[in-house]
Structure formats: structure tokens, C-alpha cells
Amino acid sequence: MATDYDAIFKAYDVRGTVGDQIDADGARAIGGAFARFIAASGATTVLVGRDMRPEGEEFSAAFGDGAMDHGLDVVDVGLCATDMLYYASGSLDLPGAVFTASHNPAGYNGIKMCGAGAAPIGADTGLEAIKSMAIAGPDPEATKGTRTSRDLLGDYVAHVRSFVDVDALAPLLVVADTANGMGGLVVPAVFEGLHLTLDHLFPELDGTFPNHPADPLQPENLRDLQSRVLEVDADVGMAFDGDADRMFLVDENARPVSGSLTTAIIARTVLEREPGATIIHNLICSRTVPEAIAEAGGTAVRTQVGHSIIKQAMADTGAIFGGEHSGHYYFRDNYRADSGLIAALMVLEALSHHPAGLSDLVSDFDRYASSGELNTTVDDAAVVIERVAAAYPNARQDRLDGLTVDLGDWWFNLRPSNTEPLLRLNLEAPTPDEVQQRLAEIQALIA
């Protein structure tokens, strides 16, 4: 079946089910379109990598063939985490593409693309143009390009380690659940030889995900990690998603730590190094994040949700770091790209200086209760948003990304999905009971 371009081109990447939505022919067409898009800015070489999904080798080879048909040289970096591809793009100043469906279950695949220097490519910065060119079909007029291979794992490991003083790391026991994803390649490589003991769950690269889905945002996918942390009396647990660009923490008591609280920990750490620096956070992060940034003497900048938006805001403001509640952490010195492993090492460095443990370190920032992100299917998101806004006429409201309503001691954000008929609700209040009370209030308005 032909590739369904309308289905697979999303706001920030390409993603769909293998066979009925994306196939090798589609990968080749997108490779050719990507080549034409980046050649317009003078590029002559493209990096191509892949995760461990079964069709990744076939699809990435087809993508490379499409790029070579349009005159570009292809550097195949082989199996790689998404942040490893971003590192390669930044350090070599080349555009790149990695075949991955991130946290999606088996049966999915996709492509994350970036410009030279790991510059983000989203719907407004090239994806729509690439989609149009892929649909239009090939236009190979140039001499066919070449393909070479390059192993960048060692260089990537050195880069990740450069963000911390590895000699100052305490001999912590770390349980890492890489869920048969690409963390199985990069996590042990980064940890090797450090003063840390790694207890590794599900290290085998297996894109059928035989143990549990590689989506640590879902609480049920943390259960194996939580059990193992308690079983071995670990100092910390770390869960990585399928392409290892996101990382979630579990403390020594097996309690999950949100992406917001991890953002606050890292923000304080980087502000100790660069006092007064600017930190980016998206608008669904906990209120504790801008509070922690201000308390540490930094400048907090609030943005919409989405990696291309965060990266652009970092470029515009010179921010040193950016965090999202979803577990993406961005670093200026990582070409403004996100990296789960850099975030992991920075947390371990902070924990090395805090012998009371991760739960105590987190307690400084654990100030509010939150709903997590709740999705509701609606017929007309805009109509629902206006109805909810009208119910709070005296509250402070903004439309930076959907609708944010601030009622003093509690707030919520309601925003439409970029790709589905869904409204996404995030709500924060002083206590869990008040979260439930306010949720019922908002959900009644949505319904």
C-alpha cells in the first residue's frame, strides 16, 4: 500500500503504522524530498541513523537511496539514539534524519529530521514543504551521491560526559530501564568506567518491546523499574523512552519524579554554574519551575509546548537550558537539542552532592499537586475552549498555547492536539483533593 503522507506528517516529525501508512517506497520518496529541501540551503551531505525497530534498516537505506538519487552524499551512522543523531548533526554541522517512532508501540515507525547544526524542522520550518515534495515525486537530475558509514558512539559518549565533572560523581547505584529501546546502546556506553554501578533492565535492542512499552510517561511502564529500585536498594531509577531522548526519574523510595521537578533540579544546577542565566520552560510545567529558577537567580521564560518552539526560544534568548514536563531537557551546549542522558548525568552530579538522597533533593521543589495530562475527544476544540474561558471571566487568562487560566492558588491549561481531535488538560492545585475537585469542575465544562 502507498504511504499515507497526510496521516504520517505530524507537527514535529513523521510517524505512522508500518505497511498501511509508511513503507520503504515512502521512505525513499521522503529521503528525496528531504534532499531537495536541504540542498536549497547549500547542503551536500546528510546523516542518516535508525533505532532498533525491525524495519529500521530497510527504511533508513531507502531514505538514503532517495537522498543519493538527488545528488546528496549519505553518511550512515547506523543504530543511534535520537539525541546521538542531534549530536552528530551539531558537531559535524550537517543535516540529519533518524528513523524512530520514539515511545510508540511496536508496529510504528517514523522519521525525526533536523537541519545542519541540529536545527529543528517542524511543520512551519520545512516539514510541510518536504511532504509536498514527497507527494510530487522524484526529480533526480544530479549525479548520484555516495554512501559511507561512520561510528560516532565514542565521540557522543565523550560529549555527554563533558557536561559534568565525572570524577565528582559519587558511587551511586543506578537502575536504568531502557525498555529494549536505544538506551540499551547508549546508557551502558556512557556509564562505563564511571564511579557508578549500573543495574540495567531490558538492555537488549528489540523493537517488538517484549517486556513493556518504551513510554515512561505512562505510570504502568514504570512498575518494573520501581520494583527493581526497591529490590536492590538503589539510589535512583531512570526510565528512558524508545529513542532515549527522554528520561524520567524514580527516587530511592520508588516514587516517580515528574519532568517538571527534574527540570527544577537541573535548572538550579546550571544556575550554580552560570548565575543569572536564562532558562526556558513550557507552559504546562509546574509553577515550581519558574519559582525555582527565580530563587536561584535565573530568568525564566515561558513558551508553548514543542521541541522546535523550545529550541527557537533558546536561540532567541541565549538560554542555557530548557525543560518540558514531558521529560525533554534541552541544553545550549548540546546545540540546543534535547538529551535524556545529559539530563541523567546532571541529576547524578546533583545527587552526588546531596547525600540525603533524591527524595530529599526533590522535596525542595515538590510544592503542588497536578493532574498529569488528560485527553478528551471533542468534536470542536475551539468551541469547547471558548466555553471554558467564558466560565472564568474574572480569572487571568492567556492564549499562548490553547487557553491558560490562572485562578491564584490553582491554574489549568487546555490546548488542542496538533494531530488528533483531542483537548489536552493540565491542572495544578495545592493538594490532590483540590486537584480532583477542580478537575471535575473543568471536565463538566468540557463535556
Which residues on adjacent β-strands are paired with residue 110?
A: 15
The answer to whether the beta carbons of residues 311 and 114 sit under 8 Å apart is no
Look up residue 50 and give its amino acid. Answer: R
Give the single-character DSSP code of 276: T
Q: Which ranges of 93-200 does DSSP label H, i.e. alpha helix?
A: 127-136, 153-161, 183-191
- Contacts for 316 with CB less than 8 Å, ≥ 6 apart: none
Instruction: End-to-end CA distance of the chain: give it in Å, rounded.
Output: 38
Q: How far apart are CA 382 and CA 264, in angstroms?
A: 32
Q: How far apart are CA 172 and CA 252, in angstroms?
A: 11
How far does CA 26 lie from the centroid of its chain?
A: 25
Give the helix, strand, coil percentages of the chain, each rounded to 5.
Answer: 40, 25, 40
- Contacts for 13 with CB less than 8 Å, ≥ 6 apart: 102, 110, 111, 112, 113, 127
Q: Is 392 exposed, middle or buried (0-12, 13-18, 19+ CB in 10 A)?
A: middle
The answer to whether the beta carbons of residues 248 and 217 sit under 8 Å apart is yes
Report residue 72 as a C-alpha cell.
Answer: 546528496
Report residue 299 as a C-alpha cell.
Answer: 530568568
Residue given cell 526510565 in the structure block: 239
3-state secondary structure of 28: helix
Q: How far apart are CA 257 and CA 251, in angstroms?
A: 7
The answer to whether the beta carbons of residues 246 and 258 sit under 8 Å apart is no
The answer to whether the beta carbons of residues 174 and 232 sit under 8 Å apart is no
Which residue from 73, 70, 97, 75 is spatially nearest to 85, judged by alpha carbons?
97
Cα-only R_g, the chain = 22
Catalytic residues: 102
- Helix (H) / strand (E) containing 16: strand 14-17
The answer to whether the beta carbons of residues 177 and 202 sit under 8 Å apart is yes
